[in-house]
């Protein structure tokens, strides 16, 4: 599968923008393109992972591979007046909900009794994954920032 990604924006000419261009020889900051040849057409895969530095095109790649499929927002739509164990698949199976929470590594059972907005960032991410598992979409594209920073 050949993927071509092109992003453009205005070529800003403010004092600071022009100075950055001059100091760092960055004349093409307003245009970014990348072509990738991915050998994924013939693979029988269920989960894919794209890893790379910020700005390398990971999100764009996901959008290009699955056109028309919106990025799934793990953090949107959580009620603040109920615990996550009630907010995930409210009409669904209790065992599926608790099993999904455990499967994604949210093993701190008391956290299941808290609303999403009071969970830690890591707990929120895991709760979002558990909800996604219970929703069972045919295709899900998740764009998640990694807390790993190789500069540290």
Residue 37 has pLDDT above 80, yes or no: yes
Band of residue 151 on the pLDDT scale cut at 50, 70, 90: very low
**Domain match, 90 and 149 both:** yes
- Top pLDDT among 82 and 138 is at 82
**Domain match, 136 and 148 both:** yes
Q: Which of 26, 49, 68 is the last residue of a domain?
A: 68
Q: What is residue 147's predicted lDDT score, i.e. its pLDDT?
A: 55
Residue 125 zone, left/alpha/beta (φ > 0; ψ -120 to 50; rest): alpha
**Domain match, 56 and 97 both:** no
Q: What is the pTM of this model?
A: 0.77
Give me the chain's average pLDDT, please. 90
Comparing CA positions, the residue from 74, 80, 82 lying closest to residue 135 is 74
Can you give the residue range of the structural domain that contains 15? 2-68
**Domain match, 118 and 91 both:** yes
**Domain match, 28 and 103 both:** no
**Domain match, 150 and 78 both:** yes
């Amino acid at each position: 599968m050949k993927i071509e990604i092109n992003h453009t924006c205005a070529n800003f000419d403010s004092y600071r923008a022009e100075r950055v261009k001059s100091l760092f020889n960055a004349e093409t900051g307003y245009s970014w393109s990348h072509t990738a040849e991915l050998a994924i057409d013939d693979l029988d895969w269920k989960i894919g992972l794209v890893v790379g530095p910020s700005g390398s095109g990971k999100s764009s790649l996901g959008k290009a591979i699955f056109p028309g499929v919106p990025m799934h927002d793990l953090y949107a739509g959580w009620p603040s007046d109920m615990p996550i164990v009630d907010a995930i698949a409210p009409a669904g199976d209790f065992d599926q909900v608790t099993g999904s929470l455990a499967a994604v590594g949210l093993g701190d059972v008391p956290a299941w009794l808290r609303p999403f907005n009071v969970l830690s960032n890591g707990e929120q991410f895991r709760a979002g994954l558990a909800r996604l598992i219970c929703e069972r979409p045919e295709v899900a594209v998740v764009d998640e920032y990694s807390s790993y920073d190789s500069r540290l």
